[in-house]
Amino acid sequence: MTFDRSIKIAPSILSADFADFGAEIQAIEAQGADWVHVDVMDGHFVPNLTFGPPLCAAIRPHIKTVMDVHLMISPVDPYIDAFVNAGADIVTAHLEAGPHTHRTLQAIRGAGAKAGLAVNPGTPVDAAAPLLDLCDLVCVMTVNPGFGGQSFIETQVDQIRRLRALIGDRPIHIEVDGGVTPQTAPLVTAAGADVLVAGSAVFKGGSVANPTVYGENIRAIRTAAEATAFAAQ
């Protein structure tokens, strides 16, 4: 992966047809998705239960872009190798998931993946400052993690702006996860985000049999985002 701050759309397969992940992934990539976002939830750190390493390994051959694996689990460290071995290009752990986040980020990089750090709405992004030199990506949650389809928390825009200032010229992606639509995308990209995770906003109205709708949805988000992108200012 070569670093750049161009806008990247990362559809979350949490909103895809679970019975047809391979075809869904191929459809969104063909329609312009830059990354594929996999939301891993354990029913403990967040109140939902989704995917594990075997699912990631099963879908990996279908992903031609970037597998972006978001671990909403605690503890994290015992599972890092399994997700990297399953093909994750990026593994993101939550700052709130355990007491030794520095070690977690080291372990992700040591296993051969890019290291991401996610920050919940209740955590100030300044808490990530001591860890930035170990991060390839910081994910600002714009909903409380656990479920798709939630409403965007607009106060998080200030957190994105603050994080962008903390990062400076370091090659670290700012990802936003939660409630991203063509209406909210310009807010987060103006503040400094460059990777936009979108679930229902990408998959709504489309299907494997009618994938052009996915493309229309992706283009609508991208066009809105690029109109205010921080890097273009």
Mean pLDDT rounded to a whole number for the chain: 96
Which whole number is the average pLDDT over 44-55? 95
Catalytic position from the list 42, 89, 136, 177: 177
What secondary structure does DSSP assign to the chain, as a single string?
-----S-EEEEBGGGS-GGGHHHHHHHHHHTT-S-EEEEEEBSSSSS-B---HHHHHHHGGG-SS-EEEEEE-SS-GGGHHHHHHTT-SEEEEEGGG-S-HHHHHHHHHHHTSEEEEEE-TTS-GGGGGGGGGG-SEEEEESS-TT-SSPPP-TTHHHHHHHHHHHHTTS--EEEEESS--TTTHHHHHHHT--EEEESHHHHTT-BTTBTHHHHHHHHHHHHHHHTT-GGG-
Give the model confidence (pLDDT) of 206-226 as tens digits.
Answer: 999 999 999 999 999 999 999
CA distance 4 to 66: 14
Q: Which is more confident, 79 or 146?
A: 79
Read off the pLDDT of residues 105-163 as tens digits, 9 standing for 90 and up: 999 999 999 999 999 999 999 999 999 999 999 999 999 987 777 789 999 999 999 99
For residue 61, the tally of other CB atoms under 10 A from its CB is 10
Please say if 4 is a catalytic residue. Answer: no
Question: Catalytic residue at 68?
Answer: no
pTM, 2 dp: 0.96
Choosing from 39, 42, 136, 194, the catalytic residue is 39
**Model confidence band, residue 232 (pLDDT cutoffs 50, 70, 90):** very low
